[in-house]
Structure 1
Amino acid sequence: MSAKKGTAALLAAAVLFLAACQSDGTAGRDAPTGRATGRGGGTPDDRKVSGLRGITLPSWNTDDYSSPEAAGYLRQIAATGARWVTFTPTWYQGRVTDSDLRTTDETADDDSLRHIIGLAHAAGLKTMLKPHVDLVRGGDRAEIRPRDTDAWFAAYERFITHYARLAADTGAEQLAVGTELAGTSGDGRRWRRVIAAVRGRYHGPLTYAANYDEYQKVPFWKDLDVIGIDAYWPLSGKATADVARLRRAWQPITEELAAFAARRDRKILFTEAGYVSQRGTTTAPYSWTISKRAGEDEQAAAYEALLATFAKKPWWAGVCWWMWDDWPDSGETAERLAYTPHGKPAEKVLRRWWSPSSPSGDRG
C-alpha cells in the first residue's frame, strides 16, 4: 500500500489479468544456508519462505521506530499469534520522471530501524525489511517512470543495498527488493543487476512486492526466493460481510495464482493484504477512503475469507497484513475506520486462525 503521511493514496482499480511473462534468468539458493548459488535454476529453501504470519508496522517519521510506543506495538502484534513483523523505511523522489532518491523527515532513521528490529527479535518475532519509494507530494509509486532510466536504477541500487547491509547487520530474516514499482519492474535486465547487488550484501530470502495487477508482468521471479503480491483484489461489487460470497470471489483468483506459482516454481507470499474497517472495503481494498461509515463486520469477514481460502494451499507462503496501529498524531484516518484490526472483530479472527491449534500452517 502506497503510504505517506498526509496522503491518501489510491491504487488503480481492478484490471484484467495480463499474460504471464517468462523469466529467463535464475538465481538459486542452497537449502542449508540460504546463500545465493548463482545462476542455474535452483529452488528456494521452503523452510525459509513458508508459513509467514505477519503484520506490517509502517513508519511515517524519522523516529517512529525508536518511540516509546514501539515495544508496546510489537507486544500487541505478537499477541495476535503473528510470528513476523514487517518494517517499511521510505525514501522519496520529487516527480515520477525524476532519477534521484533521498531521505526526508518521514524516512525512518537507521538507528531506529536497528532498535525496533532488536525489539522485535526480543519479542519472539521474525522481521522482514520492505523498503518503499514514494513521491514527495503524494501519488502512486506505480507511476514512477524515470526519464533517465540508468540514473534511476543506479540511485535505486544505492538505496536498496543500503538496506540490504542493514538487514544483514541486524539479522532481519527476509528482505523485499522493491514494492509496487510497476513503472520499472518490467525491466528484467536492470532489476536482475539490482538483485545481484543485494545478494552480494544479504544472504537471507528475497522477494519483491508486486501489486495484484502487476505480478504477472514481473520478469525476474526466478531470481528471487518467493513471489510477493500485495493482494488488494476487489472481491465484490457492493458492500458485504458474507464470508461465503467473498470466498467464491477468491476462487478464480486462487486458480490463477496456483497455476502461476507452478509455472514459476515459487511459492506466493502476500507481502500485503488489508481492509479498512469501512463499509464497502471489499469493493476496493486498496482505498483508505471508501466510506465514512464504519464497517468492522465487513473487515472481519474479509480477513476470514482470505485466511479460509488460502490457509491450506501448498503453494501459499503466508500473509503480512497491512497494518497495525498508526503512531500517535500520525494517522490520517480515524482508528475506527483505518486498516488496523486492533481492538476490532478482525483481530479476533487473527487470534483464532493464528492460535497454536490453527489450520494455517507452521509457526513460521
Structure 2
Amino acid sequence: MTAPAVKRRTVAFVAAVLVAVGGCVSTGPGQGSGHGATHASRPGPGTSTMRGITLPSWNRTDYDSPAAPRYLRGIRATGARWVTFTPTWYQKRVTDTGMHTTEETASDASLRRIVGRAHAAGLKVMIKPHVDLPGDLDRAEIRPRDRAAWFAAYRRFITHYADIAAGTGAEQFAVGTELAGVSGDTTAWTKVIKAVRDHYEGPLTYAANYDEYQHIHFWKALDLIGIDAYWPLAEKPTTDPALLDRAWASIRQKLAAYSARQHRRILFTEAGYVSQRGSTTAPYSWTVSTHPANAEQAAAYQALLDSFEGQNWWAGVCWWMWDDWPGSGETPARLAYTPHGKPAEEVLRRKWAH
C-alpha cells in the first residue's frame, strides 16, 4: 500500500520473521519439508507470529524527522514487536526499463539511523523496498518494454537495500511488493532472490497483493509467503463481528490449504483499514468515503486478529500504517489508515498485551 496523489496511490481492486513477544524465529526455505533450497545456517520452522506496524516514508528526510522517536515509542506501546520501513524508488511510466530515487526516497543514511532507533526501542525490523509510479498509477501495472533491462535495474535496486538490511542487522527483508505486472516471470525473480541471498542472510518474503499471490511461482525460493491482505469483507459498511468472521472464514480456509501446498507459512505483509465508513468494503482505498468511522476500523482490526489467532500456518501481520509525517499527510488523520489515538489502537493493545 502506498499513498494517493503524488506521494501515494490507491491499490486497485481487481475482480472482487516471525516473532514471539520478545524474540524471532524464522522459517528456512524447505527445512523440515524437503522442498526448496536453503542455507545451512538458517533456522528451521517456527510457530510464532509477527506483531508489526509499517512506518512508511514519503520524503528523503522523513526517517530523520524529530517525530521519529515518538512514532517508534507509540508503535512499541501498542504491543508491536516489529516495524517495517519502506524506502521507495520511482519510475515515470509503466513501460520504463528502470527506477530511480527522487526527493520522496528516504535517504540511505536516514534509513540506517531509523533502523538503529527501532532496535534501541526494542523493535525488530523488516525492510520492504517499494517501486512506485506517479500520482494514482498502480505499481501492479508496471510492464517494462524491455524486461531484461528492467530486471537488471531491479536487481541493482533491491540488492542495494539488501546490503543496508545486512549492515543494520534488519531481521527480515522483502524482495518486492505488489509487482503483479512482472511477478509472473519466475526465472527472473529466482535470479533476483539468489542475488539478494548473496547480500543478505536473513529471512526473505515477497509482498503479493491479495489478488496476486496465487499467481506467484517462486514461493519455494523464499522463506515466507507474503500477502498484502486487502480483501473486501462486506458489501455494505459493517461492524458486525459475525459477518466479518464469516468473510474471513472462507479466506482463511483457502489460505490454510495454500500454505500447506507451498510448505510455507503466510505473513500478512500489509493489512489495514481507513477510519472511514465503508472501509470493510474496500480496505485498499484511501478514499472510500468522507465520513469518519472509528468503530468500523476497530471492528475490522478485531476480526482479523480473532480470525487468525492460533493458526500455526499464519506468520502474523504488519499493519498499514502508523501516523503520517508532519506536513506530508494528504488524508486527515481522523480518516486515515493510522490506528493511533483511535479505538483500533486499543484493539491492538488488548490483543497484543500478552
Give the TM-score normalised by structure 1: 0.90
Task: Determine the structure 2 residue equivalent to 1:189.
Answer: 187
How do 1:8-23 and structure 2 match up within 5 A? Answer: 9-15=9-15
Change (3 A) 1:14 1:239: farther
Task: Determine the structure 1 residue equivalent to 2:55.
Answer: 57
Query: Quick one: distance in 1 between partners of 2:178 and 2:53?
Result: 18
- Using the TM superposition, give the Cα deviation of residue 230 of structure 1 relative to its aligned residue in structure 2, in angstroms: 0.1
Query: Quick one: distance in 2 between partners of 1:99 and 1:148?
Result: 6
Task: Determine the structure 2 residue equivalent to 1:288.
Answer: 286
Query: Quick one: distance in 2 between partners of 1:106 and 1:138?
Result: 15
Q: CA contact under 8 A between 2:210 and 2:227: conserved in structure 1?
A: yes
Query: Quick one: distance in 1 between partners of 2:155 and 2:225?
Result: 20
Query: Quick one: distance in 2 between partners of 1:184 and 1:212?
Result: 16
Query: Quick one: distance in 1 between partners of 2:189 and 2:237?
Result: 39
- Using the TM superposition, give the Cα deviation of residue 286 of structure 1 relative to its aligned residue in structure 2, in angstroms: 0.1
**How many matched pairs?**
336
Query: Quick one: distance in 2 between partners of 1:29 and 1:342?
Result: 39
- Using the TM superposition, give the Cα deviation of residue 11 of structure 1 relative to its aligned residue in structure 2, in angstroms: 2.4
Local SS of the residue matching 2:56: coil
Provide the alpha-carbon RMSD of the alignment: 1.4
AA at the equivalent of 2:267: L
Task: Determine the structure 2 residue equivalent to 1:46.
Answer: 45
AA at the equivalent of 2:88: T
AA at the equivalent of 1:338: A
Task: Determine the structure 1 residue equivalent to 2:75.
Answer: 77
Query: Quick one: distance in 2 between partners of 1:159 and 1:96?
Result: 17
1:27 aligns with 2:37: yes
Task: Determine the structure 1 residue equivalent to 2:86.
Answer: 88
Query: Quick one: distance in 2 between partners of 1:201 and 1:218?
Result: 23
AA at the equivalent of 2:336: A
Local SS of the residue matching 1:72: helix
Query: Quick one: distance in 1 between partners of 2:6 and 2:207?
Result: 23
Deviation per CA, 1:128-147, whole angstroms, max 9, x where unpaired?
Answer: 00000001344100000000
Query: Quick one: distance in 2 between partners of 1:238 and 1:8?
Result: 26
Deviates more, 1:66-75 or 1:202-211: 66-75
AA at the equivalent of 2:142: I
Identity %: 67
Task: Determine the structure 2 residue equivalent to 1:22.
Answer: none
- Using the TM superposition, give the Cα deviation of residue 12 of structure 1 relative to its aligned residue in structure 2, in angstroms: 2.6
List runs of 5+ in structure 1 lacking aligned partners.
17-24, 35-43, 357-364
Query: Quick one: distance in 2 between partners of 1:291 and 1:3?
Result: 16
Local SS of the residue matching 1:118: helix
Change (3 A) 1:5 1:72: farther
Local SS of the residue matching 1:337: coil
- The counterpart of 1:175, out of the listed 158, 173, 176, is 173
Q: CA contact under 8 A between 1:29 and 1:45: conserved in structure 2?
A: no
- Using the TM superposition, give the Cα deviation of residue 14 of structure 1 relative to its aligned residue in structure 2, in angstroms: 4.8
Local SS of the residue matching 2:162: helix
Give the TM-score normalised by structure 2: 0.93
Query: Quick one: distance in 1 between partners of 2:44 and 2:324?
Result: 34
Query: Quick one: distance in 1 between partners of 2:259 and 2:4?
Result: 31
Q: CA contact under 8 A between 1:61 and 1:108: conserved in structure 2?
A: yes
